[in-house]
Amino acid sequence: MVGGDVLVIWAQAHCNVATVAAPRETGILVAAVIATVFFREPFGRPRLVAGAVTLAGIVLMH
């Protein structure tokens, strides 16, 4: 994942940080949904709260 981190650092140096961070953080939420749907991992209250906090942070950045 070094290449991805290098791209993020480059993008943050050349763009608005909120524009770069929002899609990166939503990727975590997408991964949680995929894990729940395809791998039948539990999506309990802790993940729901964490997802809500992450979405609230994304909204506040914009």
Tokens of 48: 């729901």
Residue-wise pLDDT tens for the chain (62 aa)?
588 889 888 988 998 888 888 888 888 888 889 999 999 999 889 989 988 998 898 888 77
Q: Are 33 and 24 in contact (CB under 8 A)?
A: no
Per DSSP, helices labelled H in the chain are: 2-14, 17-39, 45-61
- Location of structure tokens 């942070």: 57
As given in the structure block, the two tokens for residue 25 are 């953080």
pTM for the model stands at: 0.64
